[in-house]
Copies of this chain bind each other. A is one copy, B any other.
Amino acid sequence: MSPRPKIGLELTYILEAAGELADQSGMQEVTLANLAKKLNIRPPSLYNHFDGLGGLRKNLAIYGIEKLYKELAVAAIGVSGTDAVLDLSKAYVHFARQHPGIYEATLMAPDPEDTEVQQAGAKIVELTVRVLQAFELKGDQALHAVRGLRSILHGFSSLEQKGGFKMALDLDESLFLVIRAFLKGMTA
């Protein structure tokens, strides 16, 4: 009933190529033309794998969010409390530094409200919730704290990437100080 399977594998392969393109040259260079050139096929052939440029962006966003989640998940293993949050934070900014294009893609889905995109992001939220559970925040406090931590991590990564931090001041030190202050103030 179906010849030439391995579609799932093929798509992953294409997304890996797109991810390399993004990391090397930025998201504005991941066009169907450039991606096709890298894969040695003609641009229209890509429509067999996803729905045009928008489809590519959506798939690449999900691919990136899941890739980020995997790295965050291993960073959160075997630690708890403040250390767990710091390790998670370190892993987050490390990912953004090592994969600037993929991280950028993470936020460039044509429709952020799309179910699949939301589901991928929800896993990171859940992970953050678990890591913050050790602080025994009561009621809505826990949910507010998740928003706060995510804001810090995304804001810091995004500003660092866009060259927002000009001072000659250690970046990781800034991050750790902010995270520690946030946790201290949240639990006090």
Contact = CB atoms under 8 A, between A and B. Distances in A.
Interface of A: 107, 112-113, 118, 121-122, 140-141, 143-145, 147-148, 150-156, 158-159, 162-167, 169, 173-174, 177-178, 180-186, 188
A143 to B, nearest CB: 5
Given A143-B169, A182-B182, A188-B184, A148 B162 contact: no
A118 B178 CA distance: 23
- Residue picked from A121, A177, A180, most chain B C-beta under 10 Å: A177
Number of copies of this protein chain within its complex: 2
Contacts of A155: 150-156, 158
A128 to B, nearest CB: 12
A183 B148 CA distance: 13
A165 B148 contact: no
Contacts of A165: 147
A181 B148 contact: yes
Contacts of A107: 158, 162
Contacts of A112: 162-164
Nearest to A163: B112
